Homo-oligomer: A and B are copies of this chain.
Amino acid sequence: MKKIPVPTVNRLSIYLKCFNELLDSNILNVSSSEIAKIIGLNSAQVRKDLAYFGKFGRRGFGYNVSYLKENITKILGTHKNWNVAIIGAGNLGRALTMYKGFLNRGFSIVACFDNDPAKIGWEIDGINIYSIEEIEKIIKKEKIEIAIITTPSSSLSEIINILKKTNIKGILNFAGKHILNEGKIMIRNVDLALELEQLTFLISNKNKIQTEEKGGKNQDNL
């Protein structure tokens, strides 16, 4: 398999959502230009992206949607279910614990952790809140592979040090401080203010952004 450029990786989930919607509408075959229209790219970029994942398309027949869906699911690693822990039961942690959009995408929130004695022992929507001290034990017991960190940034290094002792494979970091991959643990940083900054950049520079799909009508708003 060829190395995949980051912007293509970023679009895989968008393709997957598109294919799920097509299947919901009983559309079994689709052309690159139809995909392009739905997600706002041009068709050359779509063909280029999908070509990274093998020859899915047949000239004149278009792409088989189920096959594309299955392959992208495997590539994204979401053909299996992942058990997830939320670390930090503040407002954001609680909202993510109750978020209904994770389960049907292959992610089960199975535990929540906090250091506030007033929260420990309670539950959010049926998910137990454990003490930070129990992280190692519960991660092992519940076979948790992903942690979502929603603590203040001041607690981040302490949490990372605890997680390094576990079999956690990836961290989604909402703590507001940008961190790099930690040994074998892959880290993805999510910064909510950054999302707004990227939006104001789009607003302020509508005409200055080089979209990859030169000549495409719609800007790739990823």
In this complex, what residue of B is CB-closest to A185?
B203
* A188 adjacent to B193 (CB under 8 Å): no
Contact of A186 among B186, B193, B203 (CB under 8 A): B203
In this complex, what residue of B is CB-closest to A204?
B77
* B105 adjacent to A221 (CB under 8 Å): no
Q: Which residues of B contact A101 (CB under 8 A)?
A: 176, 191-193
A40 to B10, alpha carbons, bound, how many Å? 18
What are 8 pairs between A and B in contact, CB < 8 Å? A6-B211, A6-B212, A6-B222, A40-B181, A82-B200, A105-B193, A107-B196, A186-B221
Known interface pairs A197-B105, A203-B77. Does A210 touch B146 (Cβ–Cβ under 8 Å)?
A: no
* A222 adjacent to B189 (CB under 8 Å): yes
Identical copies of this chain, number: 2
A172 proximal to B (CB < 8 A)? yes
* B218 adjacent to A181 (CB under 8 Å): yes
Summarize A's interface: helix, strand, loop or mixed: mixed
A126 proximal to B (CB < 8 A)? no
Q: Which residues of B contact A7 (CB under 8 A)?
A: 6-7
* A99 adjacent to B105 (CB under 8 Å): no
* A16 adjacent to B222 (CB under 8 Å): no
Known interface pairs A170-B200, A170-B202, A197-B105. Does A191 touch B13 (Cβ–Cβ under 8 Å)?
A: yes
Q: Which of A167-222 contact B (CB under 8 A)?
A: 169-172, 176, 178, 180-181, 186-206, 208-212, 218-222
A48 proximal to B (CB < 8 A)? no
Chain A: residues with CB nearer than 8 A to chain B? 1, 3-7, 9-10, 12-14, 16-18, 39-40, 75-78, 82, 84, 91-92, 94-96, 98-99, 101-102, 105-107, 145-146, 148, 169-172, 176, 178, 180-181, 186-206, 208-212, 218-222
* B188 adjacent to A172 (CB under 8 Å): no
